[in-house]
């Protein structure tokens, strides 16, 4: 047969594969230098800690404690980094292990505690209601590229001091996906964990297969409030995963330089790691945060700046270097609505976060520099994440993919549309996005000339009107209702 | 009848061997050839068309289905009486002079065949004269023209003028397509129809046949 050739397996050495795209901001030497600077700051300048138990733990471990100022020796940081697990697995509400927060695995979800929302049905920017948290739960449950839930707003129409547990209950009731949540204080945390135990069966079962992690934030620069660190210690004590997430503003609460800002953020993360390990060796802790610039015109904490993506990537690489799971930030914007800026900032930050391999990437749907939680932004991001997933997967190169025999069979001037090889591969090699429009002009026109924004609104409404999340088991449901009622009664007294 | 449904399923699944096997069985079992086409092969292809429009199926799958349909049809054709064969209609199709692009045009040809139409594919770089001669020879109901380039699409008007000159314009419907072609352009040059893609083109052809 002319041209036919059986390809025998060729002996070949030193062949390397890029199974995914490759991306790196900092070299090993640079990471080591930033880590050393971090430990120098902790040892020389130290940090302020405002929690008695934490101060005592640090003092006992050999840190130099002067009132609230704690200077941490480098060996203590190095010990804590060895003690903290390099991976945390989050489960769904049914206990199935879903999110493997390890290596360069990336998962996306919304963010927490915004004051405002944009109503999907009316377009109005208004205060958040508990119904919005329910909607967020339903959307997260339905969107295939959103992996975990956060509340996307603190509800204003419930008992103010119980807004945290109401927001959590709304999520827990409307999605089976893992939840990352926030509480005002340890008592709020305890109530949230009680609700989780009602679902899991026991604290031990929840610890074995956690579907929740709770986060707290130090106050940059280098301050750790009683609230922040007591919540962290509470979670460590329970053996449940905690996120310790500094929010650092280059030029404001950190030096204007990117490297200096990373030193501040990393220092705060290290305090969280040491504190959690002193409380309980091996306690699961996830570091990361929101590291960006203060916009020197408006003074806002920017959620759309290129520096946010760059700093997030740097902080992610530092966490990888230290062998810790990373809390990332992406899919957010400074724009006030679902416009071109929102799409640009949302898309590029998602791409950067995924390329750097942050693990638990939050704030998808943050708009208006974080003031507004936008479900529409999240629905749009679902498509963006689909796009990015395909890019990250890279280009497979092997005999089958190279398809030299298929090219020979088709020859010049032919086409590949009807080849079995095409049929076998086109669905896996290419990605179908949900809302991106590639229709021909006439077809697009006939369907009402919808913009991306129009289609996002249509999809969001359609999901909210049709998606029915799996309800909680009856027993868990009634226990959770009782927990909420008890909390209300306590406040009422 | 369940048997016709199986044939339709083989077409939808894009399984030419299965389609042929089932058609052969149906013929041996004494099924009416026209029923095999209408209730089996064509019924399957209609489902494929619908799924394509809903984005549940994609071009390579549609083409495999068309192949399954056409392989089955080849077995039935000799058994169809001349009346039912004549009823299906003929399309002369080609990419116009100066243009070598033929994937889109071939897609249309394949799908027209899968609708049971007799397609005379003139290939690429087809002159107005060749189109006119083909119309004289095959007496089609439809002439289909394709162009990918903004320069060559203008040749479509030359072909229509040549058909007019040869007094053949009124005996055929003219449909056009290709990346730069629009409905406005079709109207401007006096074509009877325009389709943006291959699946729409088959609907258009059936519409033009009445």
Of the candidates B55, B61, B197, the beta carbon closest to that of A440 is on B197
Contacts of A491 (CB under 8 A, 6+ apart): A159, A161, A162
Is some CB atom of chain B closer than 8 A to the CB atom of A431?
no
Q: Cβ contacts (< 8 Å) between A413 and chain B: which residues?
A: 100, 102
Would you state the structure tokens that stand for residue B47, as one six-digit string?
């489902």
Question: In Å, how far are A101, A130, A253, A307 from A262, measured between CA atoms?
Answer: 22, 36, 11, 11
Is some CB atom of chain B closer than 8 A to the CB atom of A443?
yes
DSSP secondary structure letters along A70-88: EE--HHHHHHHHHHS-S-E
CA-to-CA distance for B156 and A67, rounded, in angstroms? Answer: 89
Of the candidates A419, A422, A442, the beta carbon closest to that of B183 is on A442
Instruction: Please answer yes or no on whether A415 and B103 come within 8 Å at the CB atom.
Output: yes
Q: Note if the bond before A142 is cis, omega within 30 degrees.
A: no
Q: Cβ contacts (< 8 Å) between A406 and chain B: which residues?
A: none
Would you state the structure tokens that stand for residue A170, as one six-digit string?
């709304």
Rounded to a whole number of angstroms, the distance from the CA of B179 to the nearest CA of chain A is: 10
The backbone region for A325, taken as left when phi is positive above 0, alpha when psi lies in -120 to 50, beta otherwise, is beta
Condensed to tens digits (0 to 9), the pLDDT of residues A114-140 reads: 999 999 999 999 999 999 999 999 999
Is some CB atom of chain B closer than 8 A to the CB atom of A3?
no
Q: Which residues are paired to A326 by β-bridges?
A: A287
To the nearest whole percent, how much of chain A has pLDDT over 70?
98
Mean pLDDT for A355-382 is: 98
Question: In Å, how far are A15, A86, A323 from A89, measured between CA atoms?
Answer: 33, 10, 15
- Secondary structure in 3-state letters for A85-110: CCCEEEECCCCCEEEEECCCCCEECC
pLDDT higher than 80, residue A315: yes
Would you state the structure tokens that stand for residue A462, as one six-digit string?
């359609």
Residue among A70, A93, A80 at smallest CA distance from A322: A80
Residue among B104, B107, B33, B121 at smallest CA distance from B74: B33
Instruction: Please answer yes or no on whether A442 and B55 come within 8 Å at the CB atom.
Output: no
CA B192 to chain centre: 16
Tell me which of B14, B55, B60, B203 to substitute to probe the interface with A (most A C-beta atoms closer than 10 Å): B60
Q: Which residues are paired to A340 by β-bridges?
A: none
CA-to-CA distance for A461 and A174, rounded, in angstroms? Answer: 16
CA-to-CA distance for A97 and A175, rounded, in angstroms? Answer: 15
Condensed to tens digits (0 to 9), the pLDDT of residues A127-181 reads: 999 999 999 999 999 999 999 999 999 999 999 999 999 999 999 999 999 999 9
Lowest-pLDDT choice from A29-38, A250-259, A315-324, B92-101: B92-101
Q: Cβ contacts (< 8 Å) between A427 and chain B: which residues?
A: 58
Q: Cβ contacts (< 8 Å) between A422 and chain B: which residues?
A: 60
Q: Cβ contacts (< 8 Å) between B195 and chain A: which residues?
A: none
Residue among A215, A158, A155 at smallest CA distance from A183: A215
ipTM greater than cut 0.95: no
Condensed to tens digits (0 to 9), the pLDDT of residues A414-444 reads: 889 889 999 999 999 999 899 999 988 888 9
Q: Cβ contacts (< 8 Å) between B108 and chain A: which residues?
A: none
To the nearest whole percent, how much of chain A has pLDDT over 90?
94
Condensed to tens digits (0 to 9), the pLDDT of residues B106-160 reads: 889 988 888 888 899 999 999 999 999 999 999 999 999 999 888 899 999 999 9
Looking at every residue in chain A, the average pLDDT score rounds to: 96
């Amino acid at each position: 047969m002319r041209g036919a050739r059986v390809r025998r397996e060729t002996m070949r050495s030193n062949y390397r594969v890029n199974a995914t795209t490759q991306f790196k901001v900092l070299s090993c030497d640079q990471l080591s230098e930033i880590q050393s600077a971090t430990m120098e700051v902790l040892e020389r300048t130290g940090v302020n800690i405002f929690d008695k138990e934490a101060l005592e733990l640090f003092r006992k471990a050999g840190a130099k404690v002067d009132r609230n100022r704690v200077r941490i020796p480098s060996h203590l940081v190095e010990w804590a980094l060895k003690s903290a697990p390099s991976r945390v697995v989050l489960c769904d509400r049914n206990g199935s292990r879903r999110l493997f927060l390890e290596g360069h695995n990336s998962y996306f979800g919304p963010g927490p505690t915004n004051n405002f929302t944009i109503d999907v049905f009316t377009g109005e920017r208004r205060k958040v209601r508990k119904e919005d948290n329910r909607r967020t739960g339903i959307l997260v449950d339905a969107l295939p590229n959103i992996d975990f839930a956060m509340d996307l707003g603190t509800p204003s129409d419930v008992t103010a001091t119980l807004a945290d547990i109401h927001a959590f209950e709304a999520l827990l009731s409307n999605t089976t996906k893992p939840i990352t949540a926030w509480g005002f204080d340890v008592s709020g945390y305890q109530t949230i964990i009680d609700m989780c135990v009602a679902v899991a069966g026991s604290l031990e079962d929840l610890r074995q297969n956690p579907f929740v992690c709770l986060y707290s934030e130090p106050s940059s620069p280098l301050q750790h409030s009683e609230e922040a660190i007591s919540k962290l210690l509470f979670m460590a004590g329970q053996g449940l995963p905690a996120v310790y997430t500094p929010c650092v503003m280059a030029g404001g609460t950190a030096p204007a330089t990117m490297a200096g800002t990373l030193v501040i953020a990393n220092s705060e993360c290290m305090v969280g790691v040491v504190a959690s390990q002193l409380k309980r060796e091996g306690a699961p802790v996830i570091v990361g945060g929101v590291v960006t610039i203060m916009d020197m015109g408006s003074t806002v904490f920017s959620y759309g700046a290129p520096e946010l993506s760059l700093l997030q990537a740097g902080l992610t690489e530092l966490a990888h270097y230290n062998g810790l799971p990373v809390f990332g930030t992406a899919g957010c914007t400074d724009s006030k609505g679902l416009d071109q800026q929102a799409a640009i900032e949302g898309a590029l930050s998602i791409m950067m976060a995924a390329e750097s391999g942050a693990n638990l990437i939050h704030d998808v749907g943050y708009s208006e520099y974080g003031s507004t939680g936008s479900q529409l932004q999240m629905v749009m991001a679902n498509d963006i994440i689909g796009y990015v997933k395909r890019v990250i997967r890279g280009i497979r190169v092997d005999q089958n993919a190279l398809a030299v025999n298929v090219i020979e069979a088709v020859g010049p001037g032919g086409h590949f549309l009807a080849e079995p090889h095409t049929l076998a591969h086109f669905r896996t090699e290419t990605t179908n996005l949900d809302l991106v429009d590639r229709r021909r002009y006439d077809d697009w026109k006939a369907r009402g000339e919808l913009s991306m924004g129009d289609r996002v609104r249509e999809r969001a409404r359609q999901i909210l009107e049709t998606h029915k999340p799996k309800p909680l088991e009856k027993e868990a449901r009634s226990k959770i209702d009782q927990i909420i009622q008890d909390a209300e009664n306590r406040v009422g007294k | 009848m369940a048997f016709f449904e199986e044939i339709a399923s083989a077409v939808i699944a894009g399984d030419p061997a299965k389609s042929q096997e089932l058609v052969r069985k149906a013929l041996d079992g004494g099924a009416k050839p026209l029923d095999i086409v209408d209730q089996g092969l064509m019924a399957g292809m209609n489902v494929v068309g619908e799924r394509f429009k809903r984005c549940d199926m994609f071009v390579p799958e549609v083409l495999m289905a068309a192949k399954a349909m056409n392989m089955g049809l080849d077995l039935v054709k000799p058994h169809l009486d001349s009346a039912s064969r004549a009823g299906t209609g003929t399309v002369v199709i080609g990419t116009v002079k100066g243009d070598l692009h033929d994937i889109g045009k071939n897609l249309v040809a394949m799908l027209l065949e899968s609708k049971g139409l007799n397609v005379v594919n003139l290939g690429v770089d087809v002159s107005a004269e060749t189109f006119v001669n083909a119309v004289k020879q095959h007496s089609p109901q439809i002439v289909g023209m394709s162009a990918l380039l903004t320069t060559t699409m203008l040749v479509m008007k030359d072909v229509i003028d040549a058909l007019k000159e040869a007094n053949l314009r009124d005996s055929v419907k003219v449909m056009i397509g290709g990346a730069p072609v629009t409905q406005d352009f079709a109207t401007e040059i006096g074509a009877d129809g325009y389709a943006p893609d291959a699946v729409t083109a088959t609907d258009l052809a059936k519409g033009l046949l009445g």
